[in-house]
Amino acid sequence: MKIVVLDGYAANPGDLNWDELKALGECTIYDRTAPGEVLKRSADAEVILTNKTIITAEHIAALPALKYIGVLATGYNIVDIGAAKEHNIIVTNIPAYSTASVAQMVFAHLLNITSQVQHHSEEVHKGRWTQSKDFCFWDTPLIELQGKKLGIVGLGHTGMATARIAFGFEMEICAYTSKSPLQLPHGIKKMELDELFAKCDIVSLHCPLTDATREMVNARRLALMKPTAIIINTGRGQLVNEQDLADALNCGKIYAAGIDVLSQEPPLAANPLLNARNCYITPHIAWASTAARQRLMGIMLNNIRAYLEGKPINNVAK
């Protein structure tokens, strides 16, 4: 069996290994693959593994040996699922491998914004504490999370993990979710989306990207929010209209944003959020802890082994 990994560097930049995958067949691993290289590199492959390299209907039609596409991520919109079904190709994803890490990043951003950790550390290193007339100094508001309303948009694995952490901070938790109020854990209040944006102190995005959720954070909804409100996005960049968010931050309509994902990655230098006021951006790393990537590799191997046994799991092209 010929296995080709099209863009293995992101999941494994060298701190993990591919030995167990190599044991399953003839295996070629590329760090990155440009669009024009996909067909040449995938020729005669039965199994293709991809993280962000797009597999189109044209690719699928031109690869007669292809039987299995493994997406090394939870989202699988990079693969033309309709074409895969048409050609009876199994497509698997990696569900729930980074839940704990993503929820941790939500609070990394939230604690940095509310306690201004990065800012005050930088000021100390500039010498401002040594020059202080008092035993301490701060020059930004320091915000306590206890009692604040956290609105979670999407109460799946990461949304629920985020809620569990928020309980520890004694926050009030609201959620926009398809679950009925009877399905929600005690302490989580269901809200409609506009109500959640209007009433919550913090809104954290955990929903999938669909036609209905694309740019759900826009000028109209931002205008509903408190001027002290904070937005956290560890979901998908396209959930946010980036110009509208930058405008809201710059004119003080909302207080701050913590962002791990952007609509285009790497971002264009002209992305308005890069220079927006009180906008804290990490480069799509919420998923990338060592533990999460180890789980990803393990699930990837289990997916392929199940396929070889004729009992595929995590198949999103049924």
Which residues are tagged catalytic? Answer: 236, 265, 284
The per-residue DSSP string of 47-101 comes to EEEESS--B-HHHHHT-TT--EEEESSS--TTB-HHHHHHTT-EEE--TTTTHHH
Q: Are the beta carbons of 234 and 261 closer than 8 angstroms?
A: yes
Q: Are 232 and 150 in contact (CB under 8 A)?
A: no
Q: Which residues pair with 2 in a beta bridge?
A: 26
DSSP string, 227-296: TT-EEEE-S-GGGB-HHHHHHHHHTTSS-EEEES--SSSSPPTT-GGGG-TTEEE--S-TT--HHHHHHH
If one counts every other C-beta atom within 10 angstroms of the C-beta of residue 2, the result is 16
Phi, then psi, of 206 in degrees rounded to 5: -140, 20
